[in-house]
C-alpha cells in the first residue's frame, strides 16, 4: 500500500540514540494530555509522529525543545535525555536548548524582516559568527540547505513575508537550520502548503537527515511513509506503537495502529 525506503533500513540500526524519553507525562491543568511515553529517537534519522488529531503529537514534540514552558498551564514530568543529558534539569536553560533543538511550525511564520535577517537572526543572537562575511556564509549555506537559495539570492533584502507559502516555510527551515541545531522538530510543516511545495519540503527533509535528527509530526500517512525511517503512532495521549516505518505500515502489531492506517480511526 505504501512504499517505504528499503535502502535506509540498514543505516537506521547503526545510528545512535539522540533523544531518549522515559515516562513522559504532560498535564494541561486537569487534562492528562500525554501518558507515560517512552521513545528513543535516533540520530541522522527521520522520525514521524502520526495519530488522530488531539492525540498529543504536538504536545510531545514541544516537550523535546521545552516549548511547553511557555504554556502556563502545562506540567511536564518524566525524563528526556538529549545525548544523555536531562533537558529538564534545573541547570538547563531552555534558550540554549532551543538553539540545539530547532523547530519549524505548522503555519509558516517568518519574521516581518528581510529574508537575510530572518536567517541571520539565530546566528546573531547566539553569537555564532565573528564577521559579516561569516554571517553571509551561514545565510547562504542555510538557504541552500533549505533549497531556497536559487529563488531568493537576488532579493535577500526583501521582506520574508512577501514570499509564497512554500517559500516561507522553506525560509523558516533555513532559519532553524542556521543555528546549526542537532535535532530539527517539525510540526505538520506541510499542512499549509500546496502539493508542489509539499514535495519540495519532503525532498528537503530527506536531505536534512544527513546532518540532523529530524522529527516530523504529520497527519498524512503517505507523507510519513515517504519521508521517515521510524514512525511512532500516538492515540489518546498514549504512544501505541513505535517501530521502523515499513513495519508500522505493513505489519503493525497493535490493532489500533492497524485501524488507523487502514482508515478506521480518524
Site residues, ligand ADP (CB under 6 A): 28, 31, 33, 51, 53-59, 71, 73
Residue 164 contacts another protein per CB under 8 A: no
Q: How big is the chain, counted in residues? A: 266
Quick one: 103 or 171, whose CB is closer to ligand ADP? 103
Dihedral sign for Cα atoms in the order 204, 156, 186, 194: negative
Q: How far is the CB of 256 from another protein (least distance, A)?
A: 31
Q: Which does 166 bind (CB under 5 to 8 A by kind): ligand ADP, Mg ion, another protein, none?
A: none
Which of 251, 200, 255 has the alpha carbon at shortest distance from 226? 200
Residue 75 contacts another protein per CB under 8 A: no
Binding footprint of Mg ion on the chain (CB under 5 A): 58
- Residue 128 per-residue DSSP state: -
What is the footprint of another protein within residues 81-100 (CB under 8 A)?
A: 95-99
The rounded distance, in Å, linking the Cα atoms of 123 and 138 is: 8
Q: C-alpha cell of 129?
A: 559568527
Q: How far is the CB of 57 from ligand ADP (least distance, A)?
A: 4
Q: How far is the CB of 53 from Mg ion (least distance, A)?
A: 7
Q: C-alpha cell of 257?
A: 495502529
Q: Are strands 183-187 and 74-82 parallel, antiparallel or unpaired?
A: unpaired
**How is 131-185 classified by DSSP, letter by letter?**
SHHHHHHHHHHHHHHTT-HHHHTT-TTSBGGGS-HHHHHHHHHHHHHHT--SEEE
What is the footprint of another protein within residues 104-143 (CB under 8 A)?
A: 104-105, 107, 109-112, 121-122, 125-126
The rounded distance, in Å, linking the Cα atoms of 34 and 58 is: 10
Quick one: 41 or 104, whose CB is closer to another protein? 104
Q: How far is the CB of 145 from ligand ADP (least distance, A)?
A: 26
Residue 166 contacts another protein per CB under 8 A: no
Rule CB under 8 A: choose which of 15, 114, 141, 161 binds another protein. Answer: 161
Number of chain residues interacting with another protein (CB under 8 A)? 29
Question: What is the per-residue binding string for another protein in 176-215, x denoting contact by CB under 8 A?
Answer: x-xx------------------------------------
**How is 61-104 classified by DSSP, letter by letter?**
HHHHTTGGGGSTTEEEEEEEEETTEETTSTT--HHHHHHHEEEE
Q: Which residues bind another protein (CB under 8 A)?
A: 65, 67, 70, 72, 95-99, 102-105, 107, 109-112, 121-122, 125-126, 159, 161, 172, 175-176, 178-179
Amino acid at each position: 500500500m505504501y512504499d517505504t525506503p528499503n535502502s535506509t533500513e540498514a543505516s537506521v540500526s547503526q545510528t545512535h540514540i539522540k533523544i531518549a524519553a522515559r515516562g513522559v507525562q504532560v498535564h494541561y491543568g486537569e487534562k492528562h494530555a500525554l501518558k507515560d511515553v517512552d521513545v528513543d529517537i535516533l540520530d541522522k534519522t527521520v522520525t514521524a509522529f502520526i495519530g488522530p488529531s488531539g492525540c498529543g503529537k504536538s504536545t510531545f514534540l514541544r516537550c523535546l525543545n521545552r516549548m511547553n514552558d511557555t504554556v502556563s498551564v502545562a506540567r511536564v514530568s518524566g525524563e528526556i535525555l538529549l545525548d544523555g543529558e536531562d533537558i529538564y534539569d534545573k541547570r538547563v536553560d531552555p534558550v540554549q536548548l532551543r538553539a540545539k533543538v530547532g523547530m519549524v511550525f505548522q503555519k509558516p511564520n517568518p519574521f516581518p524582516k528581510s529574508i537575510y535577517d530572518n536567517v541571520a537572526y539565530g546566528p546573531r543572537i547566539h553569537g555564532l559568527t565573528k564577521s559579516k562575511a561569516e554571517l553571509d556564509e551561514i545565510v547562504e549555506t542555510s538557504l541552500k540547505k533549505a533549497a531556497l537559495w536559487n529563488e531568493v539570492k537576488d532579493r535577500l533584502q526583501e521582506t520574508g513575508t512577501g514570499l509564497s507559502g512554500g517559500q516561507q516555510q522553506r525560509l523558516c527551515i533555513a532559519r532553524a537550520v542556521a543555528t546549526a541545531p542537532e535535532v530539527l522538530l517539525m510540526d505538520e510543516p506541510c499542512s499549509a502548503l500546496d502539493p508542489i511545495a509539499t514535495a519540495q519540503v519532503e525532498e528537503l527533509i530527506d536531505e536534512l537527515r544527513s546532518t540532523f535528527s529530524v522529527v516530523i509530526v504529520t497527519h498524512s500517512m503517505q507523507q510519513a511513509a515517504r519521508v521517515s525511517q521510524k514512525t511512532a503512532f500516538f492515540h489518546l495521549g498514549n504512544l501505541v506503537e513505535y517501530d521502523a516505518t515499513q513495519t508500522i505500515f505493513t505489519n503493525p502489531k497493535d490493532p489500533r495502529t492497524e485501524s488507523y492506517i487502514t482508515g478506521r480511526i480518524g
